[in-house]
Amino acid sequence: MHNQFVFEPAPQPVLEISNSDKLFPVHRIYCVGRNYADHAIEMGHDPNREPPFFFQKNPDSLLKSGQDFPYPSATNDVHFEMELVVAMGKGGVNIAVEAALDHVFGYAVGLDMTRRDLQGEAKKLGRPWEVGKAFEASAPCSQIVPASAIGHPAKGAIWLTVNGIERQRGDLDQLIWNIPETIAYLSTLFSLQAGDLIFTGTPAGVGAIHRGDEMVGGVDGIAEIHVKVV
């Protein structure tokens, strides 16, 4: 019988749900690259509607709002990217755009923290992005607000301040690939599951943070996130 672990399994990554004592068990974290035109332009790319592309972070890289973000190793250029996060309540493959929102449990706001120097080097050398994107604590995320409470937002300001100074501002209606389209496209590449999170991309204004900085961001009508860099 194979029924015992050789060591204690890692705990199930979870997010809290607003106004609930239940937890959301996180399965995978998908992220969309360059999904706002003004951010694509600031990164030196074509803002036209190319097919979306994706990368992943590890579920155990989640950091709760209010927790400190430990400045990571091997970098001198860590950037914030403020993003709307979609929390899937149902999975599927080849999900139709029209049916996509029925698969959403709720929404959160998150930070796609990025070692920009290592990501830049990887891009230049045609290497994978993990060292730039998937390090420990690279995915700070707020509580999830259920769609049953707020519906499915298609617009609303997305913003971030660092030490009280506004650094990013956009609106969900500027997404190049909107939420249903993103879910539909992603489900042609992966078998989506309940518990998956999708970081949907960041508006312009990304920049470096330093130890001691306090980041506060949000999407109006959904949630806010507070993270201090240590």
Residue 92 or 159 having the CB closest to Mn ion = 159
Among the listed residues 75, 119, 142, 202, the single contact to Mn ion using CB under 5 A: 202
Q: Give the angle subtended at the CA of 142 by the CAs of 36 and 219, to the nearest 5°.
A: 40
Shortest gap between Cβ of 112 and Mn ion (angstroms)?
3
- Smallest separation, CB 6 to Mn ion (Å): 36
Total chain residues near Mn ion (CB under 5 A): 3
Residues between 65 and 94 that touch Mn ion (CB under 5 A): 81
The answer to whether 175 contacts Mn ion (rule: CB under 5 A) is no
Q: How far is the CB of 144 from Mn ion (least distance, A)?
A: 19
Task: Tell me the backbone φ, ψ of residue 165, rounded to 5 degrees.
Answer: -105, 130
In the complex with Mn ion, the residue whose CB is nearer, 24 or 80, is 80
Which residue is nearest to Mn ion, using beta carbons?
A: 112
CB closer to Mn ion, 26 vs 134 = 134
- Decide whether 103 or 116 has the Cβ nearer to Mn ion: 116
Report if residue 30 touches Mn ion, rule: CB under 5 A: no
The set of residues, in sequence order, having a beta carbon less than 8 Å from that of 201 and lying 6+ positions away, is: 31, 32, 33, 34, 35, 36, 39, 83, 175, 176
Q: Which region among 11-19, 112-120, 159-167, 175-183 touches Mn ion (by CB under 5 A)?
A: 112-120
Residue among 164, 174, 199, 224 at smallest CA distance from 31: 199
**CB count in 10 Å sphere of residue 13:** 19
Looking at the Cβ atoms of 81 and 196, the one nearer to Mn ion is: 81
d(CA 85, CA 96) in angstroms, rounded, equals: 20
Nearest residue (CB) to Mn ion, 182 versus 202: 202
Map tokens 């204004």 to a residue. 205
What sign results for the dihedral spanned by CA atoms 136, 86, 169, 130?
positive
CA distance 11 to 28: 14
DSSP string of 47-75?
A: -S-PPP-EEEE-GGGEEETTSEEPPPSS-
Which CB atom, from 17 or from 138, has the smaller least distance to Mn ion?
138
The least CB distance from residue 33 to Mn ion, in Å, is: 7
Q: How far apart are CA 32 and CA 16, in angstroms?
A: 23
Among the listed ranges 86-94, 109-117, 163-171, 217-225, the one in contact with Mn ion (CB under 5 A) is 109-117
Among 26, 63, 95, 112, binds Mn ion (CB under 5 A): 112
Contact residues toward Mn ion (CB under 5 A) are: 81, 112, 202
